[in-house]
Structure 1
Amino acid sequence: MFDKKYVISNGLAFAEDEEMEMLSSYAKKGWILYKLDFFGYKLRKGEPKDLQYSLDYRRDPDKEYFSYFKEAGWSHVCSSGNSIHIFSAPLGTKPIYTDSCTEIEKYMQQYKSARKAAIPSSISCVIFLIIVLLSRYDHIPYVYGIVFNILLIPVFVITVFSGLPCISYYLRINRVGEVKNKNFSKNRKAVYVIAIIMTLLLIFIIFFNIFYGIHVGKIIFYTVWFTAVVLWMAFCFMK
């Protein structure tokens, strides 16, 4: 009963390096990782070992995948969801990823996966919020506001749990190195410029409304505001 321990994870998307160092510290104390569990790790009591751990992402890996790591000196410890894999090796073993390009590929898979849920849920969240605001100002029937206010709660939860990891992977990719994609750079630059223009337009509308009493229709205001939000979201999630 006392030869096993459960350790809560702080989130691999947010603290991968810290988590792997934590597992190494436990291994030195004789607590060896043997399973990835729900929101955490399962450790088994054994002999203290000087181990280093490394995380990798690969959906439906084949035997060749694990053989590659074995030849490099890394032993497969456990997997979760057939897509997250943890390997261990003695201290001093050459890292699995030695250049920025291969490391970017590692996180790109997770980023694209998280983005599939983050972008639709984020856009839906903004749309539902606008509908709720429109109903409160009597632009649309109040009943729509009630319905979409209820729908907004689960959509917001999905946005948080998919959007935060998505942003985390995005920032990590940028830290590792820039992806050399000229077409993407042009597209992202165009989105950035348009987002700046829409944001400035929104600021001008608010400024003239407050200081000069020039009122712009609420539909125009919400349209500009919504467009600016979507463009900034696209700028953040494009990769």
Structure 2
Amino acid sequence: MTTRMGHGLAISPEQDLAMFADMARRGKHLNGVSALAHGFTFTDGPAEDLVFDLAYEDHPTPDYFDIFAAAGWTHTVSVGNCHIFKAAPGTAPLHLGTDSKRDELVRNRNRYALYTALALAVLFIVGLLIRTMPWPSHVNVALLTVAIIPFVYTAVPLIGYLNGLRKLND
């Protein structure tokens, strides 16, 4: 089994999808996500020429995956609400127009804007507590660290979705 770090499906999906295709050409097949979704796992197998794409759906039903299968796409792995599919080159793309891609990006942008606002509010409250409470410095650092992590993990994907929307509109 091989593990490779991803670029971030929210930030640079094209790079990750290209990496999946390159790994498949080398006989390494995407089969999962490693710890904390920071990387992808690959198993050895025959080399294949494949293309990869992704779609977002919060609560997919079996019919959801059947629709893609009927169009020639095979579900490979899911990461939260992001579902990665593979197909032979020349298969019709998952998103036939920019409208369905835009709808997915807008939905994700709105979700992560809310998450980022909540994380920013928590960070602000922790900052106020640190300024007003006479706690030891190691407690302040620990609180600030715990508050920054959710902010980073929500703000970075938000930026990725905003950039994806900008690219669609260019």
TM-score tier after normalising by the smaller chain length: 0.7 to 0.9
| Structure 1 partner of 2:94 | 96
Q: Secondary structure at the match of 1:32?
A: strand
* Cα distance change on mapping 1:93 and 1:127 into 2, 3 Å: same
- 1:106 maps to 104
2:12/2:160 contact within 8 Å kept: no
Counterpart position of 2:162: 170
RMSD across aligned C-alpha pairs, in angstroms? 2.5
- The CA deviation at 1:114 is 2.1
Q: Which residue of 2 is the match for residue 48 of structure 1?
A: 47
Would the alpha carbon gap of residues 157 and 35 (structure 1) be closer, same or farther in structure 2, given more than 3 Å must change?
closer
CA contact (8 A) 2:21 2:50 kept: yes
Give distance in 2, aligned partners of 1:71 and 1:54.
15
Q: Which has the higher strand share?
A: 2
Cα contact 1:34–1:77 (8 A) shared by 2: yes
Q: Structure 1 residues 150 and 63 mapped into 2: Cα distance closer, same or farther (>3 Å)?
A: closer
The one-letter amino acid paired with 1:105 is: D
What is aligned with 1:14? 11
Report the counterpart of residue 78 of structure 1 in structure 2. 77
Structure of higher RCO (CA pairs closer than 8 Å, 6+ residues apart):
2
Give secondary structure in 2 for the equivalent of 1:155. helix
Q: Deviations over 1:52-100 (max 9, x none)?
A: 011111112012211111121111112234x221100001111111212
1:117 pairs with one of 115, 118, 136: 115
Cα distance in 1 for partners of 2:153, 2:77 equals: 24
Q: CA deviation at 1:153?
A: 2.8
| Aligned residues between the structures | 167
Aligned partner of 2:28 in structure 1 is 31
Contact 1:20 1:53 in 2 (8 A): yes
Mapped to 1, the partners of 2:136 and 2:104 lie a distance apart of 42
Is 1:5 the counterpart of 2:32 in the alignment?
Answer: no
Alpha-carbon distance in 1 for matches of 2:33, 2:133: 47
Q: Which residue of 2 aligns with 1:204?
A: none
- Give identity over the alignment, percent: 23
Looking at structure 2, the residues matched to 176 and 144 of structure 1 have their Cα atoms a distance apart, in angstroms, of 48
Deviation readout 1:183-239 (Å, 9 max, x if unpaired): xxxxxxxxxxxxxxxxxxxxxxxxxxxxxxxxxxxxxxxxxxxxxxxxxxxxxxxxx
> Shift of residue 129 of structure 1?
3.6
Kept after mapping to 2: 8 A contact 1:129/1:149: no
Write the letter of the residue equivalent to 1:143. Answer: P
- Give the helix-richer structure, 1 or 2: 1
Query: Any unmatched runs of 5+ in structure 2?
Result: none
User: Unaligned stretches of 5+ in structure 1?
Assistant: 136-140, 179-239
1:100 and 1:177 in contact (8 A); partners too: no
CA contact (8 A) 1:104 1:177 kept: no
Q: CA shift at 1:148, angstroms? A: 6.7
